[in-house]
Structure 1
Amino acid sequence: MKVLTKKKAETRQAPNPAKIMETGMAFWASKVLLTAVKLELFTYLSKGKVPAHKIQKKLHLHPRAVYDFLDALVSLGFLEREGLKENALYSNTADTDAFLDKHKRSYIGGMLEMANNRLYPFWVHLEQALKTGDPQNETAQGEKPFFETLYEDEDRLREFVSAMGGFQMGNFMAFCNRFDFSNYNTFCDIGGAGGFLSAQVAIQHPHMKCITFDLPKVARIAKENMERIDCLPRVEVRAGDFFKDDFPKADIIAMGNILHDWGIADKKLLIRKAYDALPEGGAFVAIENVIDNQRRKNSFGLLMSLNMLIETADGADYTEEDFTRWTREAGFRKTTLIPLTGPSSAAIAYK
C-alpha cells in the first residue's frame, strides 16, 4: 500500500510542460483578443447573435481567417457560439458584453486599445530594457516622452483619459463600496484624470464633497465629464501640477496608478505632500496593483512593474511592505490594504 501511494505521489509531481508552453505562446491569445477589440467586434455583437458571414463582411475579414479567428475567441471564453461554421451564430459573453462594448460606460477596452497600438511593439524590446534600465517607448526612438506628446494632441488626450477611467472603473466602484467613508467629509483625487473616482465617491456617498486635481488640459476634460454626468458642484475640478503645487486640503487624499509612474524619491515626495494636506485622522489612498510581500502571487503587479520599466525612466510597482515603510517615514501612523478587483488593491495610510 505504501509503494502504491508513493507511485501516485510521483505521478502527481511529474514534470509537465503545459504551463511553459501556455505562457511562452500567450502572445497568440493576447493578440487575438487585442485585434478583436481594435476591430470593435464586441461592440458589433452587442445587439445579439450574428452569423459569421455578416461578421466577415462588417470587419473586412478574409474567408480563410474568419472561422479560426472567431472560434479561437470562443475557445478562449470571449464569445458564445451556436452551431458550427456556416451555420454558426456568434454573440458576446456576459463579460465581453459588459466591458468591451464601446457604447457602455463600463467599457474597459481603451486600455486594451493602447496595449495593442503602443505597448505591444515596445515589449519586443524587454530584453534591452532589462539590460540597460532604459525606457523602450517613444523616447527610445528619439521622440518626445509619451505624456508630453499626449498633452499636445487633444484627441489622443481625450481618448487616453477615457481609457484610463474605464480601465479603473471597477476598482473605483469597489473602493467606494468597501472603504468606510462615514468619518470623512472631503475627498481629493490627485492626478484624477477624467474625474471618475471623485464622481463615484460623490454618487455613492452623498455627504462627501470631492475634488479632482490634474493638469489644466486634463482638468478641462474632467469638468466636461462632471457636467455630463451631473456631478457638479459636488465634484470640484481644480487644475494644477502635483509636483509643483500644494495638494488641496481634504480628509482623504487618493491617487490611482500615480505612484508607480515614479522612482522612490518622487514616490516619497508625493506621499509627504499627501501627509501635509491631510488633517489628523485623515487617510491617504493609493489604488494600484500592489504586489504581495513575498512577490510570488500578484503576477499582474509584477508584469505592470516591468511595463513601468518599458514606459518610464524610474517607475516601478511596489509591495504593501514598501508602502508601509514609505508612509511611516512620512509620519503616517498605520496602514491597511483593501482588495479591489482582480490584482488591484487600495493601500491606505492613516495620519
Structure 2
Amino acid sequence: MENETNSRLWPTVLVDINNGFEKSQVLFVTTELQLYDLLATHPNGMTANEIASRKELNLEATERILDFVAGIKLIKKDFKSESKTAIYKNLPQIATFLQSSTPNSMVGAIMHASRIKYPLYQHLMTIIKTGNHTEAYKHAFGFDVTLENNIYKSDIYSATFLQFMHQISSITSPGVAKTFDLSSFCEICDLGGGSGALAYALASEYPDATVTVFDLAYAVEEAKKITPDDTQRQRVKFVVGDIFQDEFPPANLYTFARIIHDWEDEKVHQLLQRTFKYLKSGGAVLIAEHLLNETKTGPLETLFLNMNMMVEMSGRERTETEYRQLLEQHGFVDFQCKSVGGHGSFHTMIAKKP
C-alpha cells in the first residue's frame, strides 16, 4: 500500500517545472522594486512594515512575498530577540548579483527576462504553430516587429536589452579577448558591438591595436551611459552604422559577439558576405557564441538560448561543424574553435581570409 501511494505522487521535477514561473515572477517583482538595493542600505535588516512603507506597498502582501523570498533563499529572515519582530536581510553571496550597481549584477538579465522574454513566451504556442514570432510580438507589445520597427529601438526596452548585454558581455569578454593570440591584428572592429564591452577588453589586452565599435545610433547613444575609466574610453572609437547596409570601418579583424545567432540564415549569409568583402586579405573574422553539441541535445544553457532565439529574435544556435561549414562557404579558411575558459558552452571561433 505504501509503495502504491508513493508511486502516485507527482514527480518533484515536474512540480518544480510547473511552478517555476512563480519563482521567476517573484524575482522579477522584487528586483523591479529594488528590494536588494534597499536592504543593502540596512545591513541590520528591515521589518516588513518598514519595507512596505518605503516602497508604498500593502503590508500583508509584502510580508507574504518577503517570506517567499526568504524561503527560496534569496534573503534571510531573522527575529529581534527582545520583541520577536521579523527582520529581513540580504544574503551577501546572493545580493551581490541582485543589486543594480555591483560589478557582477544580474539586474539587466532579470529585467530583460521580465519585460521582454516573459511576455513573448506567453505566446509560445502561436510561435510554434506559425514558425515565427510576428503575432507574438503583436499580442505582447502591440505592434508588428520588423528590422526597422523593433522593440529594442524603444527607450525602455533598448536600455533594458543593452544593460543586459553589457552585464553578460563584461563577464565573458576578457576571456574572449584571450582565447586566441590576436596581437598580429592592428585594426579591430567589433560589428554590432553595443556597449563596447568586448572592444574595451580587446583594447586592454592589445594596447597597440586600434579598436572600433560599429553599431546603430541608439546603441551608440546608450553605450555613452555605460563606460569604463577614461583611459579605456579614449582607446575605443564608436562609429554609427548599420551592419547590413553601411560600409564597414576598415579593419584586419572583424568580430561578432552574440550577433550571428540573432539572425535568420539569409541575414547571416549577408553579414558574412559583407565581412569577407570589407576584410583585408590576410585578415580574419572572430565569432563568439554558445555552441550546441553535435546531436543538438545540449548543453542545457545553449538549448535555452536556442529557444530564446526562436521566441525573441529570428536566429538560432549552431554546432561547431555548422559554423565551420558556414565560414568555409563564404571563403574563409583555417577555422579554429576554442572554449572560453570558465563560461560553459561559450566558444570563440576564428577564420581567415586568404
Which category describes the TM-score, using the shorter chain as reference length?
Answer: 0.7 to 0.9
SS at match of 1:290: strand
Change (3 A) 1:203 1:159: same
CA distance in 2, matches of 1:139, 1:280: 44
SS at match of 2:291: coil
2:16 aligns with 22
1:339 aligns with 340
CA distance in 1, matches of 2:305, 2:200: 26
- Does the 8 A contact of 1:327 with 1:349 survive in 2? no
CA distance in 2, matches of 1:95, 1:340: 23
1:65 aligns with 61
Ranges in structure 2 where 5+ consecutive residues have no aligned partner: 1-8
CA distance in 1, matches of 2:119, 2:226: 32
SS at match of 1:206: coil
Ranges in structure 1 where 5+ consecutive residues have no aligned partner: 1-14
Is 1:161 paired with 2:166? no
Displacement of 1:264? 1.2
Is 1:294 paired with 2:295? yes
Task: Supply the RMSD in Å over aligned alpha carbons.
Answer: 3.0
CA distance in 2, matches of 1:144, 1:230: 42
Displacement of 1:153? 4.1
- Does the 8 A contact of 2:284 with 2:350 survive in 1? yes
The percentage of aligned residue pairs carrying the same residue is 22
Is 1:255 paired with 2:256? yes
1:11 aligns with none
Q: Which of residues 62, 75, 80 is equivalent to 1:79?
A: 75
What number of residue pairs does the alignment pair up? 335
Displacement of 1:25? 2.0
Q: Which of residues 48, 51, 54 is equivalent to 2:46?
A: 51
SS at match of 1:211: strand
Displacement of 1:142? 5.6
Alignment of 1:118-137 (within 5 A): 118-135=116-133, 136-137=135-136
CA distance in 2, matches of 1:266, 1:107: 32
Displacement of 1:198? 0.7
Deviations 1:312-344 (A, max 9, x none): 3x3222222221211121222212032355555
Alignment of 1:230-309 (within 5 A): 230-279=231-280, 282-309=283-310
CA distance in 2, matches of 1:307, 1:257: 13
Q: In structure 2, what residue type is equivalent to 1:20?
A: L
1:92 aligns with 91
- Does the 8 A contact of 1:324 with 1:349 survive in 2? no
Change (3 A) 1:233 1:91: closer
Which one is further off, 145-154 or 34-43? 145-154
Q: In structure 2, what residue type is equivalent to 1:72?
A: F
Change (3 A) 1:283 1:92: farther
Which one is further off, 123-132 or 15-24? 15-24
Q: In structure 2, what residue type is equivalent to 1:294?
A: T
Change (3 A) 1:265 1:109: same
2:200 aligns with 199
Displacement of 1:263? 1.0
CA distance in 1, matches of 2:177, 2:78: 39
Q: In structure 2, what residue type is equivalent to 1:56?
A: A
1:40 aligns with 34
SS at match of 1:334: strand
CA distance in 2, matches of 1:142, 1:158: 19
Q: In structure 2, what residue type is equivalent to 1:345?
A: F
Change (3 A) 1:75 1:321: farther
Change (3 A) 1:254 1:260: same
